[in-house]
């Protein structure tokens, strides 16, 4: 599909905001991961905090790069969603999570920071975290010429047309 995507035919849009990043990950993967939003959240928290049962059942030491990422983040504070949770979520779901952190300064300016979580994966999802409203938004690609076409939420990392469309979206919607 990437060869059919152009700036004339497609544009990025965002979903409604939610206070939880875990709401969007299963939706973005479109059932590629057969887990509920609550299931992903619990699994991330359980792995971050190294609960004994999960450690025995699914966190064998040094078996692969994803487990190393999860082990590295074991002793984090459970009360606050932090960047370690994004890294672990990416490892569990085997995606690259591109998170754009946006803070509104005034009506004409925003502060934007982009961070990638996960690596060496074949799928990428793009999300925005509005630091002012404390909400997460999933970005999806919409076909302006064919509104009935399914919205795209997963992308090939590094796709040049996707990067162009993202820049256009950020300029038009985030004042940057």
Structure confidence at residue 51 (pLDDT):
43
Question: What pLDDT, in 10s, does the model give residues 77-117?
Answer: 444 456 777 888 888 788 899 999 988 777 777 788 899 99
Domain at 32, CATH number: 3.90.70.80
User: What percent of the chain is modeled with pLDDT above 70?
Assistant: 68
Residues 6+ apart with CB under 8 A from 93: 25, 29, 33, 40
Residue 72, pLDDT > 70, answer no
Residue 15 in this model has a pLDDT that exceeds 90:
no
22-66 pLDDT, tens per residue?
A: 777 777 775 444 566 677 777 676 666 554 444 555 545 445 555
What is the domain range of residue 6?
A: 2-173
At residue 16, the pLDDT reads 86
- Where does the chain have alpha helices with state H? 24-29, 37-48, 52-58, 65-72, 83-93, 160-173
pLDDT at 130 exceeding the cut of 70: yes
For residue 32, the number of C-alpha atoms closer than 13 Å in the C-beta half-sphere is 16
Predicted confidence at residue 62, as pLDDT, reads 45
Q: Provide the domain count of the chain.
A: 1
**What is the Cα–Cα distance from 7 to 161, expressed in whole angstroms?**
8
């Amino acid at each position: 599909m990437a060869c059919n995507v152009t700036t004339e035919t497609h544009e990025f849009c965002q979903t409604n905001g939610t206070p939880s990043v875990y709401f969007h990950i299963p939706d973005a993967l479109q059932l590629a991961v057969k887990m509920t939003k609550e299931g992903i959240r619990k699994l991330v928290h359980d792995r971050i905090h190294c609960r004994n049962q999960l450690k025995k059942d699914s966190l064998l030491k040094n078996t692969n790069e994803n487990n190393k990422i999860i082990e590295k983040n074991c002793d984090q504070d459970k009360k606050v969603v932090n960047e370690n949770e994004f890294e672990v979520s990416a490892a569990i779901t085997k995606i690259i999570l591109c998170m754009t952190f946006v803070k509104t300064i005034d009506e004409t300016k925003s502060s934007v920071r982009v961070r990638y979580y996960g690596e060496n994966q074949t799928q990428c999802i793009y999300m925005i975290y509005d630091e002012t409203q404390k909400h997460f938004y999933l970005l999806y690609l919409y076909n302006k010429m064919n509104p009935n076409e399914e919205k795209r939420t997963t992308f090939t990392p590094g796709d040049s047309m996707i990067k162009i469309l993202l820049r256009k979206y950020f300029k038009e919607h985030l004042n940057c």
